[in-house]
Structure formats: C-alpha cells, structure tokens
Amino acid sequence: MLVVHGVWIAGESAPGRLALWAEDPALPLTTSSRGRRRPHPFAVPAGALAAALTGSSDDVREALAKAAESELTLHLPGTARGPLPSPEAGSEAPGRGLRLGTWPTPALVVPGEQALAALGALAEPDPEGPWLAAPSLRYLCLLAGHACDLARRGRMLPQLVVESGTPAGRWRPVLTGADAAGYRDFAAAMPPVCRSASAGGSSEPPEDAGAGSVGRTLRDALEVLVDAAARSLMPERMLLGLRPGPRTALAERWLFSLTGTDPTLPGAPAADVAELAKPLVAWLRSAHDANGPIRVSFRLTEPPPGTDDWALEFALQSADDPSLYLPAGDLWAGARLPGLPASPDETLLAGLGRAVRLFPALHEALLDARPEGMALNTGEAHDFLRQAAPLLQAAGFGVQLPSWAGRKAVGLKLTTRSRSKTPSGKAAADSGFGLEQLVDFRIDLVIGDGTVSADELAELARLKVPLVRVRGQWVELDDRQLKAALKAVGRRREGELTAGEVLQQVVDGGEEDLPLVEVDADGLLGDLVSGRAAERLTPVPTPPGFQGTLRPYQERGLSWLHFLAGLGLGGILADDMGLGKTAQTLSLLLAERADPAAPVAPTLLVCPMSLVSNWQKEAARFAPALRVHVHHGGARKRDEDLRAAVAASDLVITTYGTALRDLGALREIHWGRIACDEAQAIKNSGTRQAQAVRAIPARTRLALTGTPVENHLAELWSIMEFCNPGLLGPAKRFRRRFQEPIEVRGDADATAALKRATGPFVLRRLKTDKSIISDLPEKNEMKVWCTLTAEQATLYQAVVEDMMTVIDNSEGIQRRGNVIAAMTKLKQVCNHPAHLLKDGSRLPGRSGKLARLEELTEEIIEDGDKALVFTQYSEFGTMLQPYLAAHLDRPVLWLHGGLSKSRRDELVDRFQNDPEPMLFLLSLKAAGTGLNLTAANHVIHVDRWWNPAVEDQATDRAFRIGQSRNVQVRKFICTGTLEEKIDAMIERKKALASSVVGTGEDWVTDLDTDQLRELFALDPVAVS
C-alpha cells in the first residue's frame, strides 16, 4: 500500500505546480546501494507512482496526462539513519535525534492549470486500491474543493498580472467575512509536507520552512486553483474558435484571456498593461475593505402581529466581538463604542456605499444624510433574506436575521408507540428490548413548530407565498420543499415498524428536501433515541469481580454499554477526562463474564503506546479476574502462539501502530469487541491506522474519548464509522448532509438532526456537573503575578522594537507568521533571558518568574506536597530541571516527548508512589493528556498556552477521580507585558473564549499594527 503525498511548489514569477510523491512502508530504511539509487529510501519511482494512481481510474489517468516525472528536493524530518516514515505508514517516531534533512525524491509534477482536475480526481481514493492519501494530499484536495466553492459563489475578481515577463488575465479569490476566517483555518491546518519542496533543486528549506512559507504556499495554491475553477465554470468566449489578434484593444484581449485556455497576452505594451492593471488592483483592494476591525451590520426585524412592516436596522459592529454593537440611530445621537475609528460616521456611510452594489434597494435609504435603517414589505424582506443577506455576509458585513431564517420550514415528525407483544406473540419482559420489537408509527407533516394537515399544505402551495405567517410564526416556504411534502402526503404514513427500522429512520434523518425534524417515541426506544437511555435503564450493578465501587453515574454508563452491546450496537463513551472510562469498560467485561455458562469472545483494546501500562495496571487493580495479554513490542507472539494467547485471554491490549503492522493476524481472530482508547487517534478516516482498526471484525465496537470532535465534524463521522459501520452513510453524504451545513452555515436544523442521529450512540458526562459527581475536591485557580528584572525589560523592549519593524514591512499570512514569532520571543523573555538567548548562561537572579517559582516550590516541598510544573517549551524545561533539583535538594522529575515508554512509566510510577515531596516538570505537549498524576495537589503553569482547553486538560492530570485533596492551580503572568494584556482580553471575552482562542494564539495575529503596538508595549510597572 503506497502512501501518496501532495506538495505545492509555489512559483517565483509564474503560477505554482502540484507535485505528487509516494512512499512504500515495506521498503527498508537504508542500504548503501539503494541509498545511491534513490536518496529517499522509502520513495517509489515516479513511474511506479503513476501506474498505481492511474491503474484503475480513467478520471485520474486523464487528469494526470500532462504530469511529468521529476526529482524534488524535499525537506523532511528524520534522524541520522534516514527520513522519518509518515504516521500513515504505521511507524512510531523515535523519541530523540529528530532533525530536518534534505532528501532528493522522485515525483510527478502536474502543471498548475491541471492541478484542480488532478486533485478532484484524487479526492476519494478506492479504499481497496493500491494507495491511500496522506494528510498533505487530503489537505490539497480540500483546498481544491474550497476553490471551486469560491468560484461557484462568485468570490473572485479578474486581474491583469505579469508572469515571467508576459501579461496574463487571471482570476483572484476575494476573501472576506467567513471566507477570510476559512483562509486562516487553512493556513493553520497546512501539513508541513505541503510546503517541503525547494524551488530549483535548492538544498535550502523553503523560506526556512517557517510561517512565511505557509502564507506563500497557500496564497499561490489558492490563486491557481481558483483561476482554474473560474475557467471551468465559464465557456470560452471565442468567435469561430478565433482569439482576438495582437492589434485588438488590450481590454478586449484581456476579457477573452479570462475565459480561454491560454491566459497570456503576448506583445501587450507595458504602459497599457500598467494603465489597465491599476484600477483592477484597486477593485480587488476595495473588495477586501470589509475586513477591518469595525464593520457595517444589518439587522432584520419581523413585523408586529397584524402588520406587514419589516424593519432593517443599520449599525456598526466589532468584527472580533459581535456583542459590541452600535445602532446607526445611537451613532448619529453621539453614542460611541470602544475601538471605533476616529470618524465612525464616515465608516458607516462608506460601508453602506459598498453594500449598495450587493443590495441595490439601499440607495433609497442613502438619500437620507443620516441613514438609520429602512422599512421593507414582506416581498422585499424575502428578497433580502434569500439574495442580499448571503451576499452581504460573504462580503464581510454583519447580518443578523430572525432565528427562523434559513431553516427548512417543512419537515417530518415521526411518532412511535410501543406494543405489548413481540413478533412471536409472546409477552415481552419488562426490561426486555430488541431491535426486532414491533412498534406503531405515524408520520406527520410539520411547518414551523406545529403539524399541518394535507388540506392546509395544499392551500399554502396554492397561495405560492414564499414568506408567510403560520399559526403566529413566520416561515420561508421553498417550492422544492412544498413539492416534496405534497408527494409525501400520498405515501404510507402510519403502520408498524421494528425498533431497528425506526432507529435507522432517525439516523437517516428523512430526505434532503423533507428532513425529519422531530421524533416522539416512548419506552426504551424513546430513551435510546433521545439519548436518555443511560439515565432511564435499570442500572446494571457493580460486577462481583470488580475491586471497588462504581459511582452512580458509572453504573449508568455500565448499563448503557451493556444495553448497546446486547443489541449488537457500538457506542462512544465520551465522558470528561477523569470520570473513569477505564473503570466502566473493565466493569463491562466483568459483567459480560458473570455467567460462566455463556462464553464471551475476548476484547481487543487498542490504545496509544503511552497508555499500555496504564491499562495493565488498572485491569490488575479493578478487575484482577480478567485474563490480560499485551500484544506489543518486538517479542510479541505471532501466528499460532498469538491465537493461543488470545484464546486464553479476556482482554488483549495492543497499540495503534501494532494493530496496523499485525492487521493480517488480528483480522483472522474472532473478537467479541474492539475498543479504542483515546479514539481521537482514528479521527482521520483516511489514515492507515484508522482503516486498519475498522478492518478488524468484531461483534461490537466501543470508542473511548473525551474529545469526540476536536477540529471538525468529519472526525465524528470517522469515529462513528468505526463504532457502527455504515450507520451514518458514506463520508460524501455526511459532508453534504451535516458537515457543510453546520460548519459553513451554522444550520440549526442540521445540528439538531445530527444530534438525533448520533445521540443514541454517544454518552457524554462532564466533571463540572455536580449531578454527575459531587465529591470531587475543589479546584482553586489563581493567577501569580511576576515582575520582570531590568535585564528582562531591556530585552523585551528590544524584541518589540525589532519585531514591530518586521511586522510593519510584511502583510498577509507572512505578517501573521511574524506576529506569532514576536509573541514567542516575548514569552521566552518573560520566562528567562537565557531562554531567548539560548547561550547557556546562569539562571539565578535574572528572572522574576524564576524567582517566584523558587519561592513557591520551596513552600510546597516544605509542606510535604507534590506539584506538577507545566511548560510549553521543552528547551526551558531542560534548563529548569537541573537547576531546581539543585536549588531544592529534592527530586525534580522531567517528562518530555523524547523519553521512551519505559522511562515515562518509571517516572510516573515514582511520582505516584514515592512518598518523598517532589516536583514533576512536564512538557505540555508530551504530558497534557493521558496521565494519572493524582499524587500532586499543586499545578503550576509557568508559561501560558492561552488556550483554556489545553491548560484545563493538563490540570486534569491531577484534578480527577482518585484525587483526595483540593488542587491549587497557579498560572504565572508577567505584569505589564503581553501576558497580562492577553489575559485581560480573555477575561473580557469569557463568553466567547472557546471560539475566539480555541486554536491557541492565532486570533491575536488579526490585530492591526496599532493594536499590536499597544499589546506588545511594556508598561512601567513591569520592572522590579
């Protein structure tokens, strides 16, 4: 199985190109002869790659017809022995010795004009084919789809550019509003492999492989793909196949170049090109004017009952914080908001002037010198809802609509009622329930919040009114929906179904034009469909062999798991970290084995390597009666020995990497269940380890994860596809039905439908819910304020002055990268001068933060306590560990990503069981999840990640079940620096914190230069 990667080669003065290369995990790491013939030891020849890609697909063959075999110089991570295999190859990264190396690699290079077609053809590889897509190729395929979406929505403008000295007509994307946010998301998500190629065979990394290369690569790729998408949507404007001649006016030649296959304009006079290009550049720049910190907003208000008077209010609104909203009437009356420009009235009028192009009816309101809004009738309000509002939102304007706007008005309601008899005619047991049980059903048509009869529906269709008030509620009536509803009237609308058929209908969610919007079911089926089964089922008691006592919510979890398993259904146990997913799973295995006369096939548990020991120890602690076998490591059993070991076991523990490597052997064994711990490891359905785990057959499946959705809904589909294969349909249908409507448009109906579809199979409880757990000790969070030393202040000011000059002279994604670089340097200064300088100089007496850490850890050790000390920088941890150990004369353990599994286990075991007071210094990335460190009752965040979710995950290493003492959490902040200012900004936006800072520090990069100067500026109180 080949792993195919995608690389974008950004052009210097011409459009970029797509390159494809592949690695074969079966090839050995190094041999001297192979090293001379093929410097990248895993890479396959370009010809072999072409054969694998085109062998079974005419579309791919046609799309790659102009691809040329070439050799790229790639900059990839590796060790002294060779490059690092990609994670899809199933190999685990070494703990240390990683570096960026240069590897000449054979590749297929696709011209820019063919890249869109190639990525479209490669977007959905055959799961049974000879190759799979690496994240870099999947990323570029998604980018190609985004480019097509921009072109379809008209989010592009024509330009006249010069490429390799020749003028050319090109389409350029317009990125405002949600599209601008999408661009930032693409920049943050770009896999480094996408930008790993050096131009011209250079051995230097592309732009140092830093943030600048992300912006340049993404900008170039999106421009090329949008240009190709635009041309595919427009027929070539040629008369009898003839292009305008060189003597034709430049403007006419340029128009033809925008639709033809040849965009160039050879021979065009430079002066004429400059004259035509100047207004086009201004046009593109003005299209992006709405991307400022303050935007014009429109609010549509429905009329009072009995009237037809809709109101459209104008306002100014903060683009970062929509709650900062100033109506135009208040503005003209003299009201102001923080952050408003010096002349807010001019900002409002200029924005309304730009909006007229998208909503021509605005010109009447602009006849007023001080426009506040305008009145609309119902027809005009419908035009605004359907046409103007989407255009204004896409252009970056704020738009606030009634809550019902954009929702599908017509839907289906499914009502079911349990019957007293099973299909066999025997009375069902009180607690009995099966998917074959018959229930009575009825389907009603719903408009708004109420059901309607067939006659009422026919009358609405006859009136042909697109916006109508039905029983006091305004709804939009779509012709397609009405036709689908009228057609549904003639179908069978009541009768009997099995519980399994009802469940499938709930998951299917009706039709695209006639969705299922409400389900009313009683009994256990109703509990299951509503997601309340865990609360309503008769709890399964703690199994006799369980060494401990399950909490009430854990018994409910056990009963839910047992219930689903009895039906042959899989589930996602998504309890918050620390609520005991491991204990509930082990108790399930014991409960299934309570009857010796009913043999149960073994469970295969797949987990990250770092958790293998944890599962072993937890099984020995809670369920010593379970026979446990670990299938991992070079000495693991194989063939007949493996089958014999499995047959003699109740629980077999393996890792994701081992499951991939031993897939052939594992899929030949009969498993009662496959359970995936930290199931976010299979969130990307196209990875080899996700495909491998799904390929292992089992009666039921269980996913354990505290974060079923980390980045996007496709991750939920991937985990659900593991738990209940095929239940949510193909990935393409899931994207169309749920992912795109929810993520792109925030569709409330799609959100509710997805919750109904997945609710029966997901159990989620939170530690913060006192009804779930009331006896967890308190978590006391506090901020520890530190002052800079004079040396730190001098360094801080020098970094600000230097980096602001760099930021002022950059733009776009390069500016964004420079802002992040500036923040990193300033945070390092706040930690310690030696952290920034990396000169190995002495530590004591030079950092206010270190001095406070010394005082605090001395108090903790003197009290006989233990503490976790988190830093996001491994290099800083390496500096602190020996210094603190010598200063405190106590053990200071240091856990980071470079440690082996055995060494990690040794450190965790010592910290948990050694009674001596000590510190555990941890790298946030390496130890922020998956560890149980309840021996600590102090948590210190020396430097802030600025993502509350990440910090909370790290804190939860100590604040979890098993913790008997209150946990003191301290977050260090240097006063007067950007640390204090960002903390204040987060406090002001607590309600929006998860969305504003959900991806770390990226949101700060959108601040303008003056705001950045204010953010970075050093206050006088900062120096001690």
Q: What is the pLDDT of residue 300?
A: 93
Retrieve residue 820's tokens. Answer: 């992040």
Q: What is the pLDDT of residue 208?
A: 38
d(CA 156, CA 148) in angstroms, rounded, equals: 11
In a domain, 251, yes or no: no
Domain boundary among 203, 233, 263: 233
Retrieve residue 872's tokens. Answer: 């996001």
The per-type count for the chain, helices as H runs and strands as E runs, is 41, 32
* Angle made by CA atoms 588, 593, 597, in degrees to the nearest 5: 155
Asked if 924 and 871 count as a contact pair (C-beta separation under 8 A), the reply is: yes
d(CA 297, CA 330) in angstroms, rounded, equals: 14
Retrieve residue 80's tokens. Answer: 């002294």
Asked if 98 and 221 sit in the same domain, the reply is yes
* Structural domain harbouring 866: 779-1022
Domain boundary among 763, 791, 811: 763
d(CA 733, CA 717) in angstroms, rounded, equals: 11
Secondary structure class of 765 (helix, strand, coil) = coil
In a domain, 192, yes or no: yes
In a domain, 467, yes or no: yes
Asked if 484 and 585 sit in the same domain, the reply is no
Cα torsion at 139, 144, 146, 151 (round to 10°)?
170
In a domain, 396, yes or no: yes
Asked if 91 and 41 count as a contact pair (C-beta separation under 8 A), the reply is: no
In a domain, 268, yes or no: no
Q: What is the pLDDT of residue 1023?
A: 58
Nearest to 279 by CA among 166, 159, 156: 159
d(CA 966, CA 962) in angstroms, rounded, equals: 12
Residue 865 identity (one-letter amino acid): D
Retrieve residue 658's tokens. Answer: 């081992």
d(CA 882, CA 749) in angstroms, rounded, equals: 57
Who's near 142: CB < 8 A, 6+ residues apart?
none
CB-CB neighbours of 270 under 10 Å: 10
- CATH code, 911: 3.40.50.300
d(CA 441, CA 443) in angstroms, rounded, equals: 7
Asked if 627 and 753 sit in the same domain, the reply is yes
Q: What is the pLDDT of residue 802?
A: 85
Q: What is the pLDDT of residue 991?
A: 34
Q: How far is CA 859 from CA 691, 864, 884, 956, in A?
A: 51, 9, 13, 22
pTM above 0.75, yes or no: no
d(CA 546, CA 1010) in angstroms, rounded, equals: 62
CA 178 from chain center: how many Å?
Answer: 16
Q: How many residues are there in the chain?
A: 1024
Q: Which residues of 312-349 are buried (b: 16+ CB within 10 A; e: fewer)?
A: bbbbbbbbbbeeebbbbeebeeeeebeebeeebeebbb
List the alpha helices (DSSP H) in 667-789: 688-695, 714-723, 731-734, 740-745, 748-758
Instruction: Give the neighbor-by-neighbor strand order of the sheet with 68-78.
Output: 68-78, 99-110, 17-23, 2-9, 131-133
Q: What is the pLDDT of residue 1022?
A: 54
Asked if 701 and 619 sit in the same domain, the reply is yes
Task: Count how many domains the chain has.
Answer: 5
Asked if 924 and 831 sit in the same domain, the reply is yes
Asked if 486 and 556 sit in the same domain, the reply is no
Point out which residues pair with 654 in neighbouring strands: 606, 631
Retrieve residue 102's tokens. Answer: 């240069």
Q: How far is CA 907 from CA 582, 903, 904, in A?
A: 21, 6, 5
* Angle made by CA atoms 164, 169, 171, in degrees to the nearest 5: 110
Q: Which residues of 80-111 are buried (b: 16+ CB within 10 A; e: fewer)?
A: eebbbbbbbbbbeeeeeeeeebbbebbbbbbe
Asked if 14 and 95 sit in the same domain, the reply is yes
Q: How far is CA 535 from CA 17, 119, 532, 540, in A?
A: 56, 47, 5, 12
Asked if 899 and 995 sit in the same domain, the reply is yes
- CATH code, 603: 3.40.50.10810
- Concatenated DSSP letters of 736-755: IIIIHHHHHH--HHHHHHHH
Domain boundary among 738, 763, 788: 763
What averages of pLDDT result for each successive group of 10 residues across the chain (1024 residues)? 90 87 75 49 88 79 88 83 71 60 89 92 79 88 91 88 90 84 84 77 40 79 94 61 71 86 87 91 78 84 85 87 85 81 84 88 90 90 87 84 77 75 37 66 76 75 74 75 73 74 76 74 73 68 89 88 87 82 94 87 89 84 93 90 94 93 93 92 83 93 83 84 87 82 73 81 76 69 84 90 83 75 90 90 90 88 91 90 91 87 88 92 77 90 76 82 82 86 61 32 58 70 54
Instruction: Describe the crossing of helices 479-489 and 454-463 by its angle, rounded to 10 degrees.
Output: 150
In a domain, 253, yes or no: no
E-assigned strands of 499-587? 516-521, 571-573
Asked if 829 and 963 sit in the same domain, the reply is yes
d(CA 702, CA 761) in angstroms, rounded, equals: 10
Asked if 521 and 756 count as a contact pair (C-beta separation under 8 A), the reply is: no
Radius of gyration of the chain (CA): 31
Nearest to 113 by CA among 215, 260, 211: 260
Asked if 818 and 854 sit in the same domain, the reply is yes
Asked if 713 and 574 sit in the same domain, the reply is yes
CB-CB neighbours of 264 under 10 Å: 15
Asked if 587 and 715 sit in the same domain, the reply is yes
Secondary structure class of 637 (helix, strand, coil) = coil
In a domain, 431, yes or no: no
d(CA 217, CA 203) in angstroms, rounded, equals: 18
d(CA 608, CA 677) in angstroms, rounded, equals: 8
Q: How far is CA 1011 from CA 289, 398, 936, 1008, in A?
A: 18, 22, 40, 5
Secondary structure class of 459 (helix, strand, coil) = helix
d(CA 974, CA 785) in angstroms, rounded, equals: 6
Beta strands at 779-786 and 967-974: parallel, antiparallel or unpaired:
parallel
In a domain, 971, yes or no: yes
For residue 666, the surrounding DSSP H or E stretch is: helix 663-666
Asked if 584 and 549 count as a contact pair (C-beta separation under 8 A), the reply is: no
